[in-house]
Chain A
Amino acid sequence: MNVGLNDQQLSELLATWPVDHAALSVDVDHVNHHYGTGEMRKQVLFDNVLKILPGEIVIMTGPSGSGKTTLLTLIGTLRSVQEGSLKVLGQELLGITPTSTTELRKRIGFIFQAHNLFESLTAFQNIRMATELLGIPDDQANARIEATLRRLGLGARIHYRPKALSGGQKQRVAVARGLIHEPGLILADEPTAALDAESGREVVTIFQELAREKQCTIVIVTHDNRILDVADRIVSMVDGRIVTNVLVRRNALLSQFLTQIELFKVLSTTVLSKIADRFDLRKFAVGSEIIQQGGVGREFFVIGAGSVAIEIDGRQVNTLEQGSFFGEMALIRDQPRNATVRALTPVSCFVLEKDDFQTVVQSSSSFEEELRKAIFNRQ
């Protein structure tokens, strides 16, 4: 069955679950932050929780003063954590020593809104300031700097001083400086604001490559709509609180996956993307029971990968493949499970909780109709 995703996309989708907390690139855990002291003390971050996996591209949005910059400086070790726990690349930042801070900063790439290039140094030398700090061998560094500048369309201006470069060119040099050492985490503040569409696209393409190939985590604060499509996760903040934290890439892939299934075709994109957010992923070993006949029905399943057998009273009546769904009957009719479902291969299922499932059913009469049709056909 064609489910609308190629193998690579499907494995990418499946890889977004589950969240392994030990491997998190950035783990913001109940972080509060205040500015000022005494009477002037003002809270700017309220109980922020944000977990980012290696290789994730996160776009942070929010009005100015929403605290996104504060959160970014906290993650970047440029400000001291006051309350809560914040781990970056495995290092706890609460109470970190200055030496560890310096060491950690070398593993982070910064791209600031202002290019901050030394006027006295050429583009090449400015970037060398980053590679030399990390002790990258000369030959390797030189080749990498040259290749990166070429990619960013600056091949002919490698040895120009900033004075001889345009604003966009300077920004591209600053971008190259921020990512030349292939850091584990890149923090970028409006990296594409000063760039035309083409070079802005080139910058985010490099970001994507680093994320995919080097598992580099990238956090971008931006208002540039042109680059929203690269985000794996969009976090938006208002008044010091994280108001939405959406895995857009996962949702997009999942929606794409679901729309190829007859049942979900009737749903509007809005509803689809809303429920996509509610899905969880569960994996089952060969031979394990996914649901048990007579058990209480709590979830609805869509097979993401693998195949399962349907057994009634110990007898196999059917097999289901990728893109099929099961578990709906017990939820609609509020009955015990009428069959056992067993994994024939290693199986990955997208799982929707009963409440979420019923919300979907109620929201769309055509969905309910389609569902009944499917159930009828199965009998």
Chain B
Amino acid sequence: MSETVTSTSEWAIPVQPGLLLRLNLATTTLTSYRTFSEIGPKFPMTQIPLAWKNLTYDPRRLVVAVSGIAFAVVLMFQQRGFQHALFDSTVEIVRELECDLVLLRPTRFALSVETRFDRSLLDVAASHRGVVSAVPLYVENLGARLRRENQKARPIRVLAFDLDRPMLRDRTREFASQRNLLDGPSTALMDRLSRSDYGFEFGSQALFPQTGELNGRELHVVGTFTSGRDFAHTGNLIMSQENFATYFTHRGLAPLQQVDLGLVKVDPQEDISQVQQRLSETMGNEVSVLTKQALIEREIALWDRSTPIGVIFTVGTLMGFVVGVIICYQVLATAIADHLGEFATLKAMGYSNGYFVRLTIQQSVYLAALGFLPGAVLSWVLFQFNASFTALPMSMTLERVLVILLATLVMCIISGMLALRKLFAADPASLF
């Protein structure tokens, strides 16, 4: 009981050295020391939190140090953020699909490769045990050019499907609310994140319909949906498969006979990977069967390995890391250099090298934590700004935040270990 009371009162003491200093001056009693030593973080090693005290003693220096580390954190966040954004953006279209399995031609090693399979294979898949439905998705990457009055014709990606079985996640409910508008001829919804170069305006629903030309034929853009851009695609349209057939005659006499992707929904009672395996065996070499997640990973891996994007951003992140190591080292090394006499005195008193290692690691961890917080907050703000500016999906997931936190910790500890050499060099013999 008494212990509880004591600890409560200790916590009740405001963590303000200045205030406590005045308190202690007023009543210099023995009991006041107990609370005094409780200030600041506690350590098993020593009750005087020297690491914390030394770090926070000079507020100006602390601010400089924390800003430097926050800067490195922002650099790393931005680099990783863009990298993720670029990868995320290329698979955004897959993420938007409401299906469990995807069928595609084995030669379609990337989504943008235009090889297709015959629609009749979907009927085979649809009749398979455990499959609820198998519907086509038509995608036109290269053969679609959108033009508005007084503008150049620009390539655009066009997606088409059976409007009654949309297979879209449609998080913004834009498709559901405007689905009926797409029944009419020459109609489409345009991605509101498409580049403004197309000449269309997405400010409000009242602006629609807006008319342009798709492959030389009139197109009425009747509304918007929300997806996003990536490297290869600066905009998206969705329309009914019937309209799609009229625009892309180069696909042959029966344009809808050749399917880009087949979207399969699996019976919720069934195990998706088992259905995938069985379906794979049935379809043979004609069609590959991938789970949605596997397709996303395959696509990201392809961009990561077969393009310099992965390397560029990894180098960028590393540079942020190195900048952080240098800044953090400067801070810690200066802190040590300024107190060389004091540290040498501690050595003379009998403090071991192990103590200095712990002290430096503590300081590194504090710096990492203090620098990471503002860095992460600032990065989040910048992510929002970037996302609105580039229409890239800049997302800060917990996993990505933890990766940067870990990198920051490692960064500061490396600097700490480098700075430690200076500390080991502190020679108590020079004090006399």
Contacts and interface: CB of A to CB of B under 8 A. Distances in A.
B171 interface: no
Interface stretch (B50-58, B103-111, B319-327): B50-58
Interface in A105-149: 105-106, 108, 110, 112-114, 116-122, 124-125, 128-130, 132-134, 138-139, 142-143, 146
B28 A158 contact: yes
A73 B429 contact: yes
Contacts of B25: 156, 159
Contacts of A130: 349
Contact of B345 (A110, A122, A134, A159): A110
A78 B30 contact: no
B429 A129 contact: no
Interface stretch (B242-250, B254-262, B336-344, B410-418): B336-344
Nearest to A125: B48
Contacts of B345: 110, 112, 116
A221 B431 CA distance: 13
Contact of A132 (B47, B339, B342): B47
Given A73-B429, A103-B350, A105-B349, A159 B36 contact: yes
B54 A138 contact: no
Given A110-B348, A112-B345, A155-B28, A79 B429 contact: yes
Contact of B46 (A69, A103, A132): A132
A124 B351 contact: no
A72 interface: yes
A102 interface: yes
Interface in B44-68: 46-48, 50, 53-54, 56-57
Interface string B324-367: 00000000000000010110111111111000000000000000
Given A102-B352, A129-B349, A72 B432 contact: yes
Contacts of B348: 76, 78, 105, 108, 110, 112
A306 B223 CA distance: 123
Contacts of B30: 139, 142-143, 146
Which size class do B's interface residues fall under?
A: 20 to 34
Contacts of B347: 105
Interface in B405-432: 427-429, 431-432
B122 to A, nearest CB: 73
Contacts of B349: 105-106, 110, 129-130, 133
Nearest to A76: B348
Contacts of B54: 118, 120
A251 B334 CA distance: 52
A69 B429 CA distance: 9
B88 to A, nearest CB: 46
Contacts of B432: 69, 72-73, 76, 78, 112-113, 189, 221
A185 to B, nearest CB: 12
A78 B342 contact: no
A158 B24 contact: yes
B231 interface: no
B33 interface: yes
Contacts of B33: 124, 138, 142, 146
Given A76-B348, A118-B50, A124-B36, 5 more contacts: A105-B350, A118-B54, A118-B342, A142-B34, A189-B432
The 9 closest A-B pairs by CB, nearest first: A120-B57, A106-B350, A105-B350, A120-B53, A78-B429, A116-B345, A142-B33, A116-B341, A112-B431
Interface of A: 69, 72-73, 76, 78-79, 102-106, 108, 110, 112-114, 116-122, 124-125, 128-130, 132-134, 138-139, 142-143, 146, 155-156, 158-160, 189, 221
6 contacts: A105-B350, A108-B350, A110-B345, A113-B432, A133-B350, A159-B21
